[in-house]
Amino acid sequence: MLFRVDTGSPVPLGEQIAACVRGAIAEGNAAPGDRLPAAREVADSLGINVHTVLRGYQRLRDEGLIELRRGRGAVVTAGDAPAGRARLVESAARLVADARSLGMTDQEVLGLVRAGLVRTRGGGA
């Protein structure tokens, strides 16, 4: 798996690590059951702190995309269609970034999402 980070980017390095893995899962380059490289290995190859990589991995765990197992490391989750979930998380991140660039508040974004739910369901949320 290829990891690329931009130390000059305003995006935190841990989030950049998570985005690399999300992209690999979304594109099918990392499949359920695949083991991610060890955090220390990734940190050494990128010249960054191992805790930064672990923060990225923990974010992916919180998103339900990977499991962190003692002794086994990080593994792409087997259930709940991780590729589709990864694409959805990427889309949500783009939505939030676009909304912030327009000066929208979190509440305004949530209102848009709720309105979209109402339209797609044909009723109340």
Q: What is the number of other CB atoms lying within 10 angstroms of the CB of residue 76?
A: 21
- The range of the structural domain enclosing residue 115 comes to 1-125
Nearest to 55 by CA among 2, 8, 12: 12
**CATH code, domain carrying 59:** 1.10.10.10
pLDDT digits (tens, 9 = 90+) for 4-49: 999 999 889 999 999 999 989 888 899 899 999 999 999 999 999 9
Burial class (CB in 10 A: 0-12, 13-18, 19+), 56: buried
Task: Please give the residue that has the higher pLDDT: either 97 or 59.
Answer: 59
Q: Is the pLDDT of residue 119 over 70?
A: no
Secondary structure of residue 83 in the 3-state scheme: helix
Interatomic CA distance for residues 99 and 107, integer angstroms: 11
Is 0.85 topped by the overall pTM?
no
Q: Is the pLDDT of residue 98 over 50?
A: yes
Mean pLDDT of 98-116: 85
Residue 112 makes CB contacts below 8 A (sequence gap 6+) with 99
Are the CB atoms for 75 and 67 separated by under 8 Å? yes
Are the CB atoms for 117 and 125 separated by under 8 Å? yes
Instruction: State the pLDDT confidence band at 50, using cuts at 50, 70 and 90.
Output: very high
Overall number of domains in the chain: 1
